[in-house]
Amino acid sequence: MKDIIIVGAGPSGMTAAIYALRGGKSVMLIDPKGYGGQIINASSIVNYPAIKEISGVDYATSLYEQVSSFGGEFVFDKVKDIIDGDIKKVICDNDEYECRSIIIATGATNRPLGIENEEDFIGKGISYCATCDGNFYKDKDVCVVGGGDTALTDAIYLSNICNKVYLIHRRDEFRGSSSYVDKIKDISNIELVLNSNVTKLIGDDKISSIEVTDKDDNIRTISVDGVFVAIGQMPENGNFKKYVDIDDKGYIISDENCHTKTEGIFVCGDTRTKTLRQLTTAINDGSIAGTEACDYLNK
């Protein structure tokens, strides 16, 4: 039995593990996809204090090695359920584990477009990670869908690889940082398609074009080989709803000390209610959750 099981091995979960391990607790991290979370897909991190620039892979690997050096145990499996009690249980696809405290750090997943045939075209023109798949579309025409920082940075990244990038956003202004918007306006092979939504994916074995509908219901067909979706994220917290409160968007409600409504169950990172979801806030949450779990066990 472990003192603490952390569900999720992204930056927040691994930071929680570091603080808990240094607090003298035994820790297991469980994640179905390996370590790193979404940050592992970032080609470059340039807004983390005191680190001028680092790749997502290098950053995540450094955290993983740090957790391992302190004695943290990693299990790569999918959590199906948790059971509360003096001794808590974490039920996975392949096994179940006991502990005295749980930290939920499951992050969030990419939000789909929600249109017909989208799943059929995943890996055949649809992608949710420009840094992962951009090189498959070298010298080809692609589009990015979204209006936040992820969409803007994806468009900038792809403009260096692809022949042309259409940046499609449902509003007339972007939500992302003005510095990214200004940079995009100076890139000749990025075309802005505003007040518009992708309403149809066209192709046989792979995407060959899309239909875009503007606010006046005018339809435009654009030939593209790839569609990069960057319209936000959604958490997957249904497995925990017996023991935590969840808001209307699916995020776990907690206080600033990362406590949920159930004693001994904590939450940290992108999966909880918060205003800003960045690497810095994930690390902050992880340090708090790890410390609070230690304090709970020490009582």
Q: How far apart are CA 92 and CA 6, in angstroms?
A: 13
Give the residue range(s) of CATH 3.50.50.60 domains in the chain: 2-108+235-298, 119-229
**H helical segments located in the chain:** 11-22, 56-69, 130-133, 149-159, 178-185, 279-298
Tell me, which fold does domain 2-108+235-298 have in CATH? FAD/NAD(P)-binding domain (3.50.50)
CATH 3.50.50.60 fits 119-229, yes or no: yes
* pLDDT tens digits along 196-252: 999 999 999 999 999 999 999 999 999 999 999 999 888 989 889 999 999 988 999
Mean pLDDT, residues 130-145 taken together: 92
Task: Kindly name the residue from 77, 84, 120, 129 that is annotated as catalytic.
Answer: 129
Residue 228 near residue 143 (C-beta atoms within 8 A):
yes
* pLDDT tens digits along 250-271: 999 999 999 999 999 999 999 9
Token pair, residue 28, equals: 């297991």
Residue 64 near residue 103 (C-beta atoms within 8 A):
no
Mean pLDDT, residues 83-109 taken together: 96
Q: What pLDDT is recorded for position 51?
A: 93
Is 245 designated active site? no
Mean pLDDT, residues 92-106 taken together: 97
pTM beyond 0.85: no
Is 268 designated active site? no
* pLDDT tier at 28, thresholds 50, 70, 90: very high
Task: Kindly name the residue from 81, 93, 95, 132 that is annotated as catalytic.
Answer: 132
Q: Tokens 């607090």 — which residue?
A: 23
Is 129 designated active site? yes
Q: What pLDDT is recorded for position 123?
A: 85
Task: Kindly name the residue from 133, 225, 270, 285 that is annotated as catalytic.
Answer: 133
User: Given 3-state DSSP classes, what are the helix, strand and coil percentages for the chain, each rounded to the nearest 5?
Assistant: 30, 30, 40
